[in-house]
Structure 1
C-alpha cells in the first residue's frame, strides 16, 4: 500500500526553518554550491555516457553494413 505525501506551504516553511537552525545561515549557501556542482558533474557524466553509447552503436552499424 502506498501513501502520498502532500506538503503545504506551512510544512515547507517549518522544514526550511529547521534546516536553517541545524546548519546556520552561513552553511546553507555552501551546501547549495556543492549541490550545484554535483548536479553539473552528473549531467556532464550522463552526456559522456550518451556519446559513448552513440559511438558504439555507430561502430556496430558500420560493421553490420560491411
Structure 2
C-alpha cells in the first residue's frame, strides 16, 4: 500500500471521465490551473486582486 501504479491511475481517470463526461473535464482543468496559479502567486507575495464595481439603482418614483 502507498504508491499508485499505472492500473490504478488509469482506473481513476476512467471513473473521472464517466462521472464528469468529456465536455466538462477541460473546464475543470482550466479551473484547477487558475487555482494553482493564484496559489503560487499568493505564495510569492504577489497580489492579483480584482476589483468589481457595483452600480446602485435609483429608486423609482
- The TM-score with structure 2 as length reference comes to 0.68
Gap regions ≥5 residues in structure 1: 50-66
Structure 2, gaps ≥5 residues long: 47-61
What's the offset of the Cα at 1:47? Answer: 1.0
Count of equivalent residues:
46
For residues 33 and 20 of structure 2, what CA distance do their matches in structure 1 show? 18
Q: State the 4+ residue runs in structure 1 displaced beyond 3 angstroms.
A: none
The structural deviation recorded for 1:25 is: 0.4
Match of 2:37 among 15, 36, 40: 40
Alpha-carbon deviations, 1:4-49, whole Å to 9, x = none? Answer: 4221111111110000000000111100000000010011111117
Show the 5 A alignment for 1:1-66: 4-48=1-45
